[in-house]
Amino acid sequence: MQTIDQIKQQVVSVCKKYNCKKIAVFGSYAKGTAREESSDIDLLVYPPSKLGLIRFASMKLDLEKALQKKVDLITYRSISPYMKDSILNSAYTLYEE
Domain annotation for the chain: domains and CATH numbers: 4-96 (3.30.460.10)
What tens digit of pLDDT does each residue of 78-93 get?
A: 999 999 999 999 999 9
Position 1 scores a pLDDT of 76
Altogether, the residues listed in the chain come to a count of 97
pTM: 0.92
Q: Which amino acid is at 30?
A: A
What tens digit of pLDDT does each residue of 15-53 get?
A: 999 999 999 999 999 988 888 778 899 999 998 888 889
Give 84's contacts (C-beta < 8 A, 6+ positions apart): none
